Amino acid sequence: MAVFLLEREPPAGWYNFSMPTPFYHLNLAESLLEHPALPVEVRQFLHGSRCVFMFGNTSPDVQVVSGQPRQSTHFFNLPIQAEDLPAWEQLLLDYPLLADVGHIPATQAIFIAGYLCHLQADWLWVKEIFTPVFGPYCSWGTFSERLFLHNVLRAYLDECILPGLHTAMDICLSQVEPDGWLPFVEDEYLCKWRDFLFPQLEPGATSQTVEVFSSRQGVSTPEFHALLASEERMEAEVFNHLPLRQVQSYHERVLDKNSRLLSKYLAFTLHHRNIPIDGDVFQGVQR
């Protein structure tokens, strides 16, 4: 086990450790497209540009290659405050043209739909998984140790889901061509993000999850792999604090909430009439 000293202040950049990986978002997106709560017309519309929707579900993490502050692509700061507007609502409030789905190209609408799903999944993960179990105000271990174990959990989930992703996911993502879809990120960086992501999904490739986490936190990759390879240690050091059933419950809640979000966001386009976006999903967004 890595050794972590007692700390008075959280380590710099700790917010980069607090959310699911792009591969977990791809898994959510694939599950979402087949989820029974997703209306048939929404499913059919998204399947029209399925690869764009998949890419949109990863794209808030573009700051990895663009160098932007995390909050400039995720639309919330950490820790989340009670008065904060949910991230997907904040994006549409900041960029109201993206909320007017009837006046943007269908491909852009599908990309933004995926982007909003990612923001909602991250927001819920921070509130339901990271903050109460691993966050800076938890009482077990040190914060650095909890960040390490949270990263181990994220890497573990990647190992579980990667074999089940669509076998042509690398080709799917590699063919996406951004076209001015985001007013706050240049296409150049979305292309760099795409080119960073899809090679890790090629047959026989290995994801860089552990390597990225190791370099960020200064923990050797063998330490990560040793823990991941031990069922006994995973149970004692990770799942003792967060049972896997709690992660699965989170997964199902995200799919339900993403289904509602997509139905509301795409209502205008699908029904060709102005159906107001209201309720708790888009509360406070002006159209």
* pLDDT of res. 285: 38
Is the per-residue pLDDT at 5 higher than 60?
A: no
Q: pLDDT by residue (tens digit) across 251-272?
A: 999 999 999 999 999 986 665 4
* pLDDT of res. 89: 96
Residue scoring higher pLDDT (285 or 200): 200
63 C-beta neighbours (distance < 10 Å), count? 19
| Contact in structure between 173 and 201 (CB atoms under 8 Å) | yes
Is the per-residue pLDDT at 121 higher than 80?
A: yes
Tokens of 184: 């706050």
Residue 243 domain flag: no
* pLDDT of res. 232: 96
Residue 131 domain flag: yes
Residue scoring higher pLDDT (120 or 79): 120
Mean pLDDT along residues 96-116: 94
Residue 93 sits in which domain range?
A: 16-143+164-205+251-271
Residue 150 domain flag: no
What is the pLDDT confidence band of residue 17, given thresholds at 50, 70 and 90? low
* pLDDT of res. 209: 83
Residue 156 domain flag: no
Residue 9 domain flag: no
Domains held by the chain: number: 1
Residue 94 domain flag: yes
Residue 8 domain flag: no
Mean pLDDT along residues 146-170: 93
Distance (Å) of CA 28 to CA 32, 111, 203, 218? 6, 15, 21, 29
Q: pLDDT by residue (tens digit) across 29-67?
A: 999 999 999 999 999 999 999 999 999 999 999 999 999
Residue scoring higher pLDDT (13 or 72): 72
| Contact in structure between 228 and 152 (CB atoms under 8 Å) | yes
Q: pLDDT by residue (tens digit) across 167-210?
A: 899 999 999 999 999 999 999 999 999 999 999 999 988 888 88
